[in-house]
Structure 1
Amino acid sequence: MKTPADPSLPCGIAVMAKASIPGRTKTRLVPPLTFEEAAALNTVFLKDAFANIAQASEAMPLRGFAAYGSIGEEAFFATLAEDPPGLIAAAHPNFGECLFAGIEGVLAAGCSSACVLNAD
């Protein structure tokens, strides 16, 4: 579907994200890290991504989203930024479907364009 972008509407940026649960995030980093350290690193990456989106939104209309696969852990994402990101459930069997869900969710939220990114 191709439609002209409305410059008055924000561009939506969906960060592909998992809640920072020890043993379920960044497990390839264990060892040398512990599961707790790997989960803490995931949180730092996500906070940094949302801080960058917030800073960029001062110069242009942007809106941040968390396209998340950790169903049932939605409260975690409210802790990542002063202005919590919008939430888009993106739990699918393969990463391509997760990316597509992120883009669909951003556009369904009224954004004129969509971008998905990884926080690593």
Structure 2
Amino acid sequence: MSTVAVAIICKTPAPGKSKTRLSPPLRPEECAEISACFISDLSATIAELGAEGDAEGYAVYTPAGSEAALTRLLPSSFGLVLQGEGDLGQRLDKGIADLLARGHVGAILINSDSPTLPKAVLRQAVDLLKSGDRAVLSPALDGGYTFIGLSRPHPHLFADIPWSTPDVYRLTLQRAREIELPIVELAPWYDVDDAASYALLEQELDGLPLAFAPADLARQPAARTAAFVRRRRASLTVAQPAQAGAA
């Protein structure tokens, strides 16, 4: 059976170097901890998809030398592919090319900030990449994309993109049109990378509806992330009465 590579593009978590835009509200050590939770939960979703027989999980990672720490967060079935040098566009382009070079019929790169990304959306992406040359994208709420999938390398998609701006998704669609590459847009999702999106994560984990998400889209449990959120809430609850008593 032809397989699609489904990969998280990530940095191995380390205090002071991971998810720094989440501080505040999180402390630097909590940023590294939640980053590990995100990678663990997203890789578990990918492993579930892989169990269906036509997808294989990977981490496209940095830095070199961090393999042992990263492997502890991943299912045993996952492969590791070291990121290339350069800006994000160059690293995405090389990541896609490296995965396709392993013999897969398609490759999907997912950001590491979306622990609750539904498996059903990835299922659609895998199916689409098995049936022709196209770009498959899930738009992110911040103007970027949660993942991009390709069945062939297309460097033009990543050229001259102002990364980390609200124009990323729009310009990626424009690049695809310029090379007449068919585009399939799937359900949007969100990145957890600042205080506002962390609050959205808490809302989702509390079972509240997400305004942008299709109502029939099955939720992912994101067990490690949910446990982190519960522990943090409990610690804040304990700290608040103590602070009030000291006052």
Normalising by structure 1, what TM-score? 0.86
Q: Distance in 2 between matches of 1:82 and 1:116?
A: 17
Residue 92 of structure 1 deviates from its aligned partner by: 2.1
Q: Which whole-Å CA distance do the structure 2 matches of 1:109 and 1:80 have between them? A: 23
- What residue number does 2:58 align with? 65
> 1:64-102 CA deviation, whole Å, 9 max, x = no partner?
111112122111221123325211111422100111121
1:95 aligns with 2:68: no
**Which has the higher mean CA deviation after the structures are superposed, 83-92 or 96-105?**
83-92
Aligned to 2:117: none
* Structure 2 equivalent of residue 3 of structure 1: none
Question: Residue 31 of structure 2 aligns to a residue in which SS?
Answer: helix
Deviates more, 1:73-82 or 1:14-23: 73-82
Tell me if structure 2 keeps the 8 A contact 1:70–1:91: no
The alignment covers a number of residue pairs equal to 113
C-alpha RMSD over aligned residues: 1.4
- Between the aligned residues of both structures, percent identity stands at 34
Which runs of 5 or more residues in structure 1 are unaligned? 1-7
Which structure has more relative contact order (CA 8 Å, sep 6+)? It is: 1
- For residues 37 and 113 of structure 1, what CA distance do their matches in structure 2 show? 35
Q: Do residues 28 (structure 1) and 21 (structure 2) align? A: yes
Provide the rounded CA distance (Å) in 1 between the counterparts of 2:51 and 2:77: 16
Query: Partners in 2 of 1:19 and 1:39 — Cα distance?
Result: 9
Extract structure 1 runs of 4+ deviating beyond 2 A.
Answer: none
Going by fraction, where is helix more abundant, 1 or 2? 2
SS at match of 2:65: coil
